[in-house]
Amino acid sequence: MQKERISSPKNTKEIIKKYGFSFKKSLGQNFLIDQNILERIVNAAQLDQSKGALEIGPGIGSLTQSLTQTAGKVVAIELDQRLIPILNDLLKHYDNIEVIHGDVLKLDLRTILEEQFKEQTEISVVANLPYYVTTPIIMALLENQLPIENIVVMIQKEVAERMVASPGGKEYGSLSIAVQYYCEPEMVLTVPHTVFIPQPNVDSAVIRLKLRKKPRVHIEDSEYFFKVVQASFAQRRKTIINNLTSNLFTKDEKQKLISILESCEINPSRRGETLSIEEYARLSNRLREIT
């Protein structure tokens, strides 16, 4: 079995040189070169030989290598065709890895999970995600309600802070509510930009999203719920009544909106970032009844 650590700075540089690989900035490629951080990512996913790991954007396989030594089965989805032969070569000593070329946002993930993880009891997504596509990937995983236990990902620190934010802070917004509706988010660790090749301009963080058995709150219509949330955060300096009037209703309906907000025990002069997810659920359910 391959003993050389792909993740060491020396080995990463040698691999890049050996295969003549050049980074594509448009794909947000940054390879992690700190084995300690890789191990903490894997540990956060709570994997063992009975469980499977889906990795998105494996790069040259530094995280993949650690996953194959912990999980029973690993499936790595890579968008960059140039990396497929490199991954297959570097990981040829492991018999529990499947590398798939494709765009995770276009693939049928449910079918892939069903076919690839037949013998695994639980599946976690574990990945170092490209910054530019972090939110679309995470929301796609959540909204499609895939059979996943945990999502443990390295993402931009600022985005991670928004996902775990509580009402009242400047980081709290529609992303906080969307993530917390589906998951219990937890910040695992922050990661300096110096442990990547090439180095990104900002620091990163590892976040664990433990999927809930059922959503945090009961809502009658999830699509309408998120419309209300989005409208409430449209202009953060505006009160919730003004945001809703400007973005979801008309000025003629303002008085009716005020009455509904008050019936939900929400002061119309509050700003959207002060409302809890429970208050948004109560409000959207009430609004849906009368619209």
Residue list, annotated binding site for S-adenosyl-L-methionine = 30, 32, 57, 78, 103, 128
CATH architecture of the domain 9-211 equals: 3-Layer(aba) Sandwich (3.40)
Render pLDDT for 66-119 as a digit per residue (tens, 0 to 9): 999 999 999 999 999 999 999 999 999 999 999 999 999 999 999 999 999 999
Residue 5: half-sphere exposure toward Cβ, Cα within 13 Å: 12
Which residues 6+ apart lie within 8 Å of 123 measured at CB?
Answer: 51, 52, 53, 54, 113, 117, 147, 148, 149
Write down the number of H helices and E strands in the chain: 12, 9
Task: Give tens-digit pLDDT for 128-158.
Answer: 999 889 999 999 999 999 999 999 999 999 9
pLDDT computed for residue 170 by the predictor: 93
From the annotation, which residues make up the binding site? 30, 32, 57, 78, 103, 128
CA-to-CA distance for 206 and 190, rounded, in angstroms?
Answer: 6
| Whether the Cβ atoms of residue 253 and residue 231 lie closer than 8 Å to each other | no
User: Residue 213's beta-bridge partner residues?
Assistant: none
Q: What pLDDT shows up at residue 226? A: 96
What is the pLDDT of the chain when averaged over all its residues?
95
pLDDT for position 3: 61
Report in angstroms the alpha-carbon separations of 212 from 146, 150, 215, 217. Answer: 12, 9, 6, 11
The CA-CA-CA angle for residues 230, 236, 268, to 5°, reads 80
Q: Which helix (H) or strand (E) segment is 186 a member of?
A: strand 183-191
Give, in degrees to the nearest 5, the angle at Cα 92 between 90 and 94: 110
Range(s) of the chain covered by CATH 1.10.8.100: 222-290
CA atoms within 13 A on the CB side of 203: 10
Strand 196-197 versus strand 122-128 pairing type: unpaired
Do the Cβ atoms of 91 and 84 come closer than 8 Å? no
Q: Token pair 């693939």 is at which residue?
A: 107
The enclosing H or E element of 52 equals: strand 51-56
Instruction: Give residue 97's pLDDT.
Output: 98
- Averages of pLDDT over each 10 residues, the chain, 291 residues: 79 96 89 95 97 97 97 98 97 96 97 97 96 94 94 97 96 97 97 94 96 94 96 94 93 93 96 97 92 70
DSSP string, 107-160: S-HHHHHHHH-TT-SEEEEEEE--GGGHHHHHHHHHHTT-S-SEEEEEEEHHHH
222-290: which CATH topology?
Helicase, Ruva Protein; domain 3 (1.10.8)
Opening angle at CA 7, ends 79 and 92, nearest 5:
65
For 285, other C-beta atoms within 10 Å of its C-beta total 18
pLDDT value at residue 289: 83
Alpha carbon 82 to chain centroid, angstroms: 25
